Structure 1
Amino acid sequence: MAVPTTRMLVLAVVRLLAPVHGYDVRRELLSWHADDWANVKPGSVYGALNTLQRDGLIAVEGVGQEGARPERTTYRMTTEGEKAFGDMLREAIWTSEQAKNPYFAAVALMPYLPKEEVVAAMRGRILKFESDLVFLEREEQRILAGSGDPTEYEPYHVADAMRLAADHVRADLTWSRKTLERIESGELDVWSAWARVDGGPMTTK
């Protein structure tokens, strides 16, 4: 069973910065770009805080107001939260399970679409990955150029998460480039054989 990533990361930030407001938990995770490499939705952070409090893993430290700003609740980790966080992190760090990528199924079904459409999609995919890689590499260097102090900057270990994400993008980019080259050269021609089997790919009509 996969560890709930948002729950674990929110708990980690509360542990790291407590006492901390929910707004600052959200801002911290966005500064880590966890919405990109961990698929943490910004809007889910407050929901996670509520369920963590309900489950006794975090507790309200206080409720305060500054000027005309709305009241803000600050949270701290509980003893039970420390235990749960350790259990979740150990389960996650020891896992070697690969995420199931829905693109694998699309690749297996390429013959059902016209070759020209597949080629166009592959070119777009390559452009997107090239852009993503530039962004990830730049962010990694930016984080490493900071102080690493989590109270004022992203911790250095976040750069390692960015590097892992970049390595996955590089692998996908390498595969996409090679596959596109094989299709365009005719080495990978699944369409001719498929046409003889069931009448060919779908059309856009």
Structure 2
Amino acid sequence: MSTVRLLVLGSILRRGVSHGYAVLRDMTTWRVDTWTNVKPGSIYHALDKLESQGMIEAAASGAGAKLGPSRKEYSVTKQGKAEFFRLLEAALVSPDILQFSAGVAFMEWLPRNEVIALLEQRRSVLDASLRLLKSLPVDERPSEPSRHPELVGIWIGYVESEAASTERILANVQAGRYDFKSERLEAE
């Protein structure tokens, strides 16, 4: 649920005000189904939950020149913005690839130096995981799954890949790639 919450809050924050269909359209356009486990039905459930928790506010959109039924338009509350940043920071240190992917999608909302610190923290967690995995005993003829060399090998390969990706992203952020929102505001 935290990945869905992060994506929904991020979509609304990017737009300022948004209705559920626009959030769904963002998710479809961003192809989140290819890099997260977010499903279309979970987006509307998240909107309802976020509204009931005071993270977003809803108001019926004005009739204006649009034909058809009015829709609820949402904006992120102060509490919702704090939740977005809490989820974003947690995602950028998460060893879970789905949460981390959502964090990378919105990392420009944080100051560059904070993203660097969070990525360094994630790298440390992954390095500790690698040390642990490489220390696990394995048996040629394992009596239990945790001692299977192929299983341990799969996890070592996965964590090595995650560590390499984190290192690459960290190097790019440190090299000045990407436009961070705080730097755009300072330039104005």
TM-score normalised by the chain length of structure 1:
0.44
- Larger Rg belongs to: 1
In proportion to residue count, which structure has more helix?
A: 2
